[in-house]
A and B are shown apart, each in its own frame.
Chain A
Amino acid sequence: MGLRKFSLRAFLKKNLDFIAGVSSEIGLCIGIIIIALAISFFLVFIKSLA
């Protein structure tokens, strides 16, 4: 009964801020991880020039 009444659209609409917030935080962390990876590549590149 409960599942039949469940509407994904209504759920997403109701929890939009929360879902967007969680995604933003995960996105922020992934962004920092990418910068850290770029630092590693940059340093190895600099060393290869030396």
Chain B
Amino acid sequence: MIPSLRREDLRIIGFNLSKILFIVSIVMLIPIIVAVIYGEFEIIPHFLIGSSISVILGSITHHYWETDKEMELKHALCFAALTWIVSMLVTAIPLWTTGSTNSYLDANFDTMSGFTTSGLTLVPDIDHLSYSINFYRHFLQFFGGIGIIVISLTVLSRSELSSVLTFKGEARDIGIKPNIVRTARVILGIAIAFMVIGSVLFTAAGIIEGANLRTAIFDGVNYSMAAYSTGGFAPHSQNMLFYHSTLYEVIALIIFLIGSFNFSFHYSILSGRRREIFKNIEIKTFFTILLLSTLVISGLLLFSGVYSTPDVLFRKAFFQAASAQTTTGFGTLYPVQISTIWPSTVVFMMAMLMMIGASANSTAGGIKAIRIGVMVKSFVREIKKALSPRSATVETTYHHVEDTPLTETVAKGAMLIAFSYVLLFIVGTTITMLHGYGMSDSMFETASAVGNTGLSSGITSPAMPDTLKVTYIFLMWAGRLEIMAVLVLIGFTILGIRRGFRK
């Protein structure tokens, strides 16, 4: 019989969620520094209210569900899924109370988009947001990006289906909680290092392009956080178009490409194993797909007469393809241009890139390049098997930090997760089309939500139906957690309710 959630399980999950509420309460206090710097004292109470509510809820759950029992995998998966929901609900408070969004639902949409590093937004007037609220949105993406790497390395990787996520640098036999703390420290160090490098480069580029120092620094920090977390939020409604600068776009490309690398890959490279660049299956798969797509997309846009010069092709076709596959969502053209100027074949290819995504154990979303690489290797192995004599054994390995045998479990896990993403994509596209949108736009927008990308064909706006907003919140959430954790939570909850959460 499938085990359901018992009261003791709820207590363990709830107790650990209380700690998330405490962390989130601190996250909501950090933008107060920005509010003080820019003299936005009227905004400070909104962050204090949000933070206080988070502390109160955290204290209540901490007090009533206190337990010293360790989390098991089933608790950890439910905890991971609920972390994003709880964080979304409380961090939406300052966005809502300051009137930055039209409703509490819209605020939830934006915070889920932030925490999942998606980048779709329902903020109606980004250009007139206060500095502190604008910083807050980007900080949520940075925080959410680090959060998903930690959860991916310490929780999701423990499941058989996600065995390709395993981080070889950490011991898997230690408890989940100490592993989370230890891994988070290392990830935070690396993320801050790249974020600082990005901020300096963006600030310098801003000054070169004529921005004043104050704007250049503010934009530099925010673009850097959004780029490293492959988030795609921007402090201006025109997104990357605001600066109209090739230099700014190249810096963005470098930072979000680095942000989309697997943490295990970062760890290997930064600890001296630089040959990994040429051997890693995920890096090879990711860049092969990206460059082949760039060739095809650029060719289609060039020969259909949309663009005619190499620099524009590079800045529109390659930038958008890289932004889509790394699931960043920075845009060098307006959403409406995607659906009106670009051929539908290119729009479809961009949707596929968003679904494929970049690396596992990174801030990027989608199916992940390592799974695509594993599936291709597995496919080739099956062909080899069919061509070989019956007595022959065909063994295949793949290199990801170390040479690993390609087992049936790994191949099956990759295929099941990929299948789940495709299923989610079909369901999301169908629901969007039922709201009256065209097929091409619906596919693009759904792929953007499921793959946590943030590029838009124009569907996502404050005026979109509430049911579609809820649908996209669910798609971003499920996509971020590779669907499995969400399915485990839903399954356990249904079984728990049916069995009355027995003791």
Name A's B-contacting residues (CB within 8 A): 17-18, 20-22, 24-26, 28-30, 32-33, 35-37, 39-41, 43-44, 47
Query: Which residue of A is nearest B258, CB measured?
Result: A25
Taking the complex as formed, is B277 at the interface, i.e. its CB lies under 8 A from any CB of chain A? yes
Report whether A47 and B302 are in contact in the complex, using a CB–CB cutoff of 8 Å.
yes
A32 touching B274 in the complex, CB below 8 Å, given contacts A25-B261, A25-B269, A37-B314: no
Q: Give the shortest distance, in Å, between A9 (CB) and chain B (any CB).
A: 19
Interface-lining segment among B158-166, B291-299, B329-337, B345-353: B291-299
Report whether B317 and A40 are in contact in the complex, using a CB–CB cutoff of 8 Å.
yes
Q: Give the shortest distance, in Å, between B149 (CB) and chain A (any CB).
A: 16
The 5 closest A-B pairs by CB, nearest first: A21-B270, A40-B310, A40-B313, A36-B318, A17-B272
Report whether B291 and A36 are in contact in the complex, using a CB–CB cutoff of 8 Å.
yes
Which of A24, A33, A44 is close to B254, meaning CB atoms less than 8 Å apart? A33
Report whether A32 and B287 are in contact in the complex, using a CB–CB cutoff of 8 Å.
yes
The answer for the CA separation of A47 and B271 in the assembled complex, in Å, is 45
Q: Give the shortest distance, in Å, between A13 (CB) and chain B (any CB).
A: 13
The answer for the CA separation of A32 and B321 in the assembled complex, in Å, is 13
Query: Which residue of A is nearest B189, CB measured?
Result: A18
A22 touching B270 in the complex, CB below 8 Å, given contacts A40-B298, A43-B298: yes
A35 touching B291 in the complex, CB below 8 Å, given contacts A22-B197, A40-B318, A43-B302: yes
The answer for the CA separation of A33 and B317 in the assembled complex, in Å, is 12
Taking the complex as formed, is B392 at the interface, i.e. its CB lies under 8 A from any CB of chain A? no
Report whether A29 and B257 are in contact in the complex, using a CB–CB cutoff of 8 Å.
yes
The answer for the CA separation of A25 and B194 in the assembled complex, in Å, is 11
Name B's A-contacting residues (CB within 8 A): 193-194, 197, 250, 253-254, 257-258, 261, 266, 269-272, 274, 277, 283, 287, 290-291, 294-295, 298-299, 302-303, 308-311, 313-314, 317-318, 322
Q: Give the shortest distance, in Å, between A46 (CB) and chain B (any CB).
A: 8
With a cutoff of 8 Å between Cβ atoms, the chain B residues found around residue A17 in the complex are 270-272
Q: Give the shortest distance, in Å, between A27 (CB) and chain B (any CB).
A: 9
Report whether B291 and A40 are in contact in the complex, using a CB–CB cutoff of 8 Å.
no
Q: Give the shortest distance, in Å, between A19 (CB) and chain B (any CB).
A: 9
With a cutoff of 8 Å between Cβ atoms, the chain B residues found around residue A37 in the complex are 310, 314, 318
The answer for the CA separation of A22 and B299 in the assembled complex, in Å, is 33
Chief secondary structure at chain A's binding surface:
helix
With a cutoff of 8 Å between Cβ atoms, the chain B residues found around residue A40 in the complex are 298, 310-311, 313-314, 317-318
Chief secondary structure at chain B's binding surface:
helix
Report whether B277 and A24 are in contact in the complex, using a CB–CB cutoff of 8 Å.
yes
Which of B194, B266, B298 is close to A39, meaning CB atoms less than 8 Å apart? B298
The answer for the CA separation of A12 and B313 in the assembled complex, in Å, is 40
With a cutoff of 8 Å between Cβ atoms, the chain B residues found around residue A47 in the complex are 302-303
Which of A28, A29, A36, A44 is close to B302, meaning CB atoms less than 8 Å apart? A44
Report whether B274 and A44 are in contact in the complex, using a CB–CB cutoff of 8 Å.
no
Report whether B313 and A43 are in contact in the complex, using a CB–CB cutoff of 8 Å.
yes
Q: Which of A18, A32, A36 has the most CB of B within 10 A?
A: A36
If A18-B270, A24-B274, A43-B298 are given as contacts, then 16 extra A-B residue pairs at C-beta distance below 8 Å, sorted by A number, are: A21-B266, A21-B272, A21-B274, A24-B269, A25-B261, A26-B258, A28-B277, A29-B257, A33-B318, A39-B294, A39-B295, A40-B298, A40-B310, A40-B311, A44-B309, A44-B313
The answer for the CA separation of A24 and B276 in the assembled complex, in Å, is 11
The answer for the CA separation of A43 and B295 in the assembled complex, in Å, is 8
The answer for the CA separation of A17 and B254 in the assembled complex, in Å, is 20
Q: Give the shortest distance, in Å, between A48 (CB) and chain B (any CB).
A: 10
Report whether B269 and A39 are in contact in the complex, using a CB–CB cutoff of 8 Å.
no
With a cutoff of 8 Å between Cβ atoms, the chain B residues found around residue A39 in the complex are 291, 294-295, 298, 318
Query: Which residue of A is nearest B201, CB measured?
Result: A26
Report whether B253 and A29 are in contact in the complex, using a CB–CB cutoff of 8 Å.
yes
Which of B269, B272, B310 is close to A44, meaning CB atoms less than 8 Å apart? B310
A33 touching B197 in the complex, CB below 8 Å, given contacts A21-B274, A39-B291, A39-B295: no
Q: Give the shortest distance, in Å, between B328 (CB) and chain A (any CB).
A: 13
